[in-house]
Amino acid sequence: MKAYKPKTSNSSIALRYALMSLCLSSVCHAVIFDHLSDKISYDRRSMLIILFNIVSVGMMSLFSVFAEKVENKHTGVRLSALLTVLGYYLPTDFGIDLKVVLLGLGSACFYAFASSSILSRSQGKSREIGLLLGGSGIGIACASFAGFAGHFFAPLLMIFAIPSDKYENAPENGTKTVFYEQKTAEKVPFLHLSLLFLPLAYLFLSYEFSSFHFTWNVYFKTQFQLLLMMGLGRAIGGFISDLIGRVTTVAASAFGGTLLIFFCSDDKRLSLLGLFLLSMSLAPTVTAFTRLMPKHPAFSFAIMSASSYLGQTLSLFIGFKDISMLLVSASLIMIVISAEMPFLTGSEKTEVYENEDD
């Protein structure tokens, strides 16, 4: 196997996808927040949001299978931008359901292809996927703050979808296809337990994020701050994880964030700091799971998104709010990440090679 490094930086591609993620997320949620806020009953609105999530996360599984086979992944990203913009500008007379389904399909297609492209290049680094997740979070924050955000972000999304010359020369699109695969999945101790517990931990974490009930969160401004801090935490968590290590980041963020939210939920600043810290654990957790399934990076991302969806909707249906579940989720993440400790610290050998099958 011959070691090979690409000539172009992956950061530019990751940044482009992060910005696209911001635009797409903002466009989708702007439609949901704007059109469904006052005209439709509460239950109908809830079910439409669930419908959007069902389509966007459920179809991600199918798109991820195609994404792993396609050489030029940006084609899929372009298709997703087209679907999203089509869904956004579709007149409401055709039905809000169709609008939501189109937006969901666009979102599914984008995250499948973008995560496949990013994760197949990331070599176990969390910063790229952190940027993607952070972009999504900040997009939701923008949409929650201003309903007209979609008018601004929809054309921007199309602009980002147009490839530049530099992008076209990226390795995945050139004559020489390069993939990074780590044959390390079988070396992870308690692999099956990790495969089970990591999505479970993510589910609990997502449930907690959706069911936080802060007394100070009563204005649009505070709601925006809350979502913004969560998005920033996701984005910065990836960078910090690459600097100080995945285990340290997850340990610091999970326990620090849990303690702050658990004991200082009435204090706005400390709660926001706690949310920021807790969000930092998302990118390393997704990367950890991706490394358990190195041959299917996009599908592993889809599984983690599914866990997130199930946790989020659980909070909509079940009014069981207990902040102590946060301790359970933080402990689960720590157990699984700790199980990887020998693999991460000692015997890790990253094998970078050219995938000759493709």
Interacting residues toward other proteins by CB under 8 A? 29, 32-33, 36-38, 41-51, 53-55, 57-65, 97, 101, 104, 140, 144, 209-214, 217-220, 223, 226-227, 296, 299, 302, 306, 309-310, 312-321
110 vs 299, beta carbon nearer other proteins: 299
Tokens describing residue 267: 């204090």
Least distance in angstroms from the C-beta of 334 to other proteins:
25
In the structure encoding, which two tokens stand for residue 128, read together?
């790229």
* Smallest distance, other proteins to C-beta of residue 108, A: 9
Is residue 169 packed enough to be buried (19+ CB in 10 Å), middle (13-18) or exposed (0-12)?
A: middle
Residue with Cβ nearer other proteins (256 or 311): 311
Positive or negative: CA dihedral 307, 309, 312, 316: negative
Least distance to other proteins from the beta carbon of 268, Å?
A: 14
Nearer to other proteins, 208 or 340 (CB): 208
Smallest gap from residue 288 Cβ to other proteins (A): 21
* CB of residue 316 to other proteins, shortest distance in Å: 6
CA proximity to 23, closest of 152, 118, 128:
152
Tell me how far, at minimum, the Cβ of 348 lies from other proteins, in Å.
27
Query: In the complex with other proteins, which residue's Cβ is closer, 11 or 37?
Result: 37
Residue (14 or 59) nearer to other proteins, CB:
59
Q: Which of 355, 334, 351 is nearest to 288 (CA)?
A: 334
Instruction: Say if CB 302 and CB 114 are below 8 A apart.
Output: no
Q: Write 239-245 long-range contacts (CB < 8 A, 24+).
A: 239/126, 239/127, 239/130, 240/280, 241/126, 241/127, 241/130, 241/280, 241/283, 241/284, 241/287, 242/125, 242/126, 242/127, 245/344
Q: How many CB atoms lie within 10 A of CB 306?
A: 18
Closer of 5 and 192 to other proteins (Cβ): 192
